[in-house]
Amino acid sequence: MSMNEFKPKIVAFCCNWCSYAGADLAGTNRLNYPADVKIIRVPCSCRVNPLFILRAFQRGADGVILCGCHPGDCHYTTGNYYARRRMTLLFSMLDYLGIEKERTRVEWVSAAEGAKFATVMNDFVKTVTELGENKRLEDLRCKK
């Protein structure tokens, strides 16, 4: 592995009930995915405030992925629907700001889908790696 190889910084928000458990299952089954993915556990995908994602891009993240329960299977009944709507808006705005749509993603991974979790992460890391380093959003508050 060369030292210069680009390693993206990827933040993955995973809901506690499905996707985090799916990630655990990927681990239990020893399914490999790149170490660039770092998971933040949230109770539900609807807990993810668009501000968290903006913050990640301000701090130099190259990609952000949000994983929740499949539609209809949300532990809290409707949380993933809210998440889906919020993210659709946010991602199109980010795209407008110059952060490519491919750097952001919403995926549904159930607690039984360890293999899917690994596949999704491998694919996402590959996509982001191909896009290269991200432009950093500026945090204007830091300029005061």
Partner 1 sequence: MQKIGVFVCHCGTNIAGTVDVKAVAEALGKEPGVVFSAEYPYMCSEAGQNLIKNAIKEYGLTGIVVCSCSPRMHEATFRKTAAAAGLNSYMVEIANIREQCSWIHKDIKVATEKAIVLGRTAIAKVALNAPLTASESPVVKRALVIGGGIAGIQTALDIADAGYEVDLVEKEPTIGGKMAQIDKTFPTLDCAACILTPKMVDCAQNEKIHIYAYSEVEKVKGFVGNFTVSIKKKARFVDETKCTGCGVCTEKCPQKKTPNLFNLGLDTRSAIYIPFAQAIPKVATIDADYCNMLKNGKCGVCSKVCAAGAIDYKQQDQIIEQQYGAIVVATGFNPIKLDGYDEFAYNESPDVVTSLELERLMNAAGPNGGTLLRPSDKTHPHTIVFVQCVGSRDTTDCGKPYCSKICCMYTAKHAMLIRDKYPDTEVYVFYIDVRTPGKNFDEFYRRAVEEYGVHYIKGMVGKVMPQPDGKLLVRGADLLMNEQILINADMVVLAAAIEPDKSARPLATMLTASMDTNDFFTEAHPKLRPVESPTAGIFLSGVCQGPKDIPETVAQASACAAKVIGLLAKDKLLSNPCVAHSDENLCNGCSSCEKVCPYGAITYVDKEFRMPDRTTKIRRVASVNAAVCQGCGACTVACPSGAMDLSGFSNKQIMAEVDAICR
Binding residues (CB under 8 A) for partner 1: these are 9, 11, 17-18, 20-21, 23-24, 26-28, 30-33, 35, 38-44, 46-52, 55-56, 59-61, 69, 72-79, 82, 86, 110-113, 118
Q: Which is nearer to partner 1, 30 or 143 (CB)?
A: 30
Task: Report, in Å, the least distance between residue 95 CB and partner 1.
Answer: 20
Q: Which is nearer to partner 1, 3 or 96 (CB)?
A: 3
* HSE (side-chain half, CA atoms, 13 Å) at 120: 24
Give the whole-angstrom CA distance, residue 137 versus residue 123.
Answer: 24
Task: Report, in Å, the least distance between residue 97 CB and partner 1.
Answer: 18
Task: Report, in Å, the least distance between residue 134 CB and partner 1.
Answer: 11
Task: Report, in Å, the least distance between residue 31 CB and partner 1.
Answer: 6
Task: Retrieve residue 27's tokens.
Answer: 């681990």
Give the whole-angstrom CA distance, residue 132 versus residue 96.
Answer: 18
Q: Are 12 and 65 in contact (CB under 8 A)?
A: yes
Q: Which is nearer to partner 1, 44 or 99 (CB)?
A: 44
Task: Retrieve residue 34's tokens.
Answer: 């790149």
Q: Which is nearer to partner 1, 17 or 124 (CB)?
A: 17
Measured from the Cβ of residue 9, the count of other Cβ atoms closer than 10 Å reads 17
Task: Retrieve residue 9's tokens.
Answer: 């910084």
